[in-house]
Amino acid sequence: MDRRSFFKKAGVATAGAAGATTLAAPALAQSMPKVTWRLTSSFPKSLDTIYGAAETMAKRVSEATDGNFDIQVFAAGEIVGGLEAKNAAAEGTVEMAHTASYYYWGQDPTYALGTAIPFGLNARQTNAWFYQGGGNDLMNEFYATQGIYGMVCGNTGAQMGGWYRKEINSLDDLKGLKMRIGGMGGKIIQKLGVVPQQVACGDIYPSLEKGTIDAAEWVGPYDDQKLGFNKVAKYYYYPGWWEGGPALHTFVNLDKWNGLPKAYQNILINANAYANTDMMATYDLKNPAALKQLVADGAVLRPFSQEIMAAAYEAAKGTYAELSASSASFKKIYDNQLAFKKDSYLWMQVSEYTYDTFMMIEQRNGKL
């Protein structure tokens, strides 16, 4: 090629590239506008794992947008109370909330299905149902009627059954018991004679200490140890049959969600999915050590009796029949979730259960 011709063409190409760069910058700026949102959490900062999921999500969003999409996270009580987080997002007081959908089941029972219902899905099933089983679309169809858009942002795994001042050996021991319990679990356990109490996280310890309540459940060993429940109640029961795999959500004001650039919507979805996985992994890491320390400090581990479990299960099934008869949205989503659960356990008992049971026996025999 002629040397002069080559440089002449190269000069034209360079000018073209510069022009393209000049044109790209404004387009990029338009797709990555400066956005600052506030998120109110239902949880205190002291619970670094459950509160931290919102911080993890916000950090991922900021990093993916070079800081252009800034989400400021506020703890429960800094803007609104913990149990008002979803309402604040729906009303536009803030743009976002990080909370548990089932806190609001009193407004509509369908909310409970977004987190966990007694004897519902375990954590792995919850993720499969939301991400691949149509659960996310079904819940957001409902959430849209409430002025919000929801994304799963955290899971604790199967929870503990709570802290009790006295042993609970039979159904009679539950009668008249005043217990802090979240979500629909309170409605079910009430049928067994318990008096459910809706108490925000920060008020549980003083309520137990003063005797305002006789028992309380929160999450599991890591959080419960931080909150000090073992200092005011001795008996630690399992499993938390009302929360087999509870999902947390980030709720976004629906108008704000619809007004976001598509790129920001996708970034938010991906950041919430990461925080969801990260939170479950963190609990799986930290719960074993916390449980060992709680027992060393005097906590007495006790399983719920089969009598209590069976009675609670029957009470739950009866409650779901009642709710399905009175709420079309609850019935639609519950029926879908139930069908998914039946098939899931058909598979899990073949492989997962057999494998895990063998390995747990080896662990108990000191062979791991």
Sequence letter at residue 294: L
What are the tens digits of pLDDT across the range 209-218? 999 999 999 9
Sign of CA dihedral 5, 8, 11, 17: negative
Among 191, 261, 248, 256, smallest CA distance to 219 is for: 248
Cβ count within 10 A of residue 316: 22
Sign of CA dihedral 32, 36, 41, 44: positive
Contact yes or no for 245/183 (Cβ under 8 A): no
Q: State both tokens at 26.
A: 């404004």
Please name the residue that has the structure tokens 């049971």. 357
φ, ψ of residue 332 to 5 degrees: the values are -60, -45
Q: State both tokens at 218.
A: 């929160």
Q: Return d(Cα 206, Cα 229) in angstroms, integer.
A: 10
Q: What residue ranges of the chain have pLDDT lower than 50?
A: 1-25
What are the tens digits of pLDDT across the range 63-87? 999 999 999 999 999 999 999 999 9
Q: What is the largest CA-CA distance in the chain?
A: 99
Q: What is the pLDDT, as a whole number, of residue 116? A: 97
- Residues 80, 85, 89, 95: what is their CA dihedral angle, to the nearest 10 degrees? 70
Contact yes or no for 295/230 (Cβ under 8 A): no
Contact yes or no for 48/58 (Cβ under 8 A): no
Q: What is the pLDDT, as a whole number, of residue 30? A: 64
All structural domains of the chain: 28-156+245-284 (3.40.190.170)
Q: Per DSSP, which regions of 127-211 are E strands? A: 148-155, 162-164, 178-180, 195-197
Q: Return d(Cα 326, Cα 78) in angstroms, integer.
A: 37
Q: pTM for this structure?
A: 0.90
Q: State both tokens at 140.
A: 């957001």
Cβ count within 10 A of residue 321: 11
Strands 235-238 and 300-303: parallel
Q: How far is the first Cα of the chain from the last one, in angstroms, to the nearest whole number?
A: 71
Residue 167 is classified by DSSP as -
Q: What is the pLDDT, as a whole number, of residue 18? A: 42
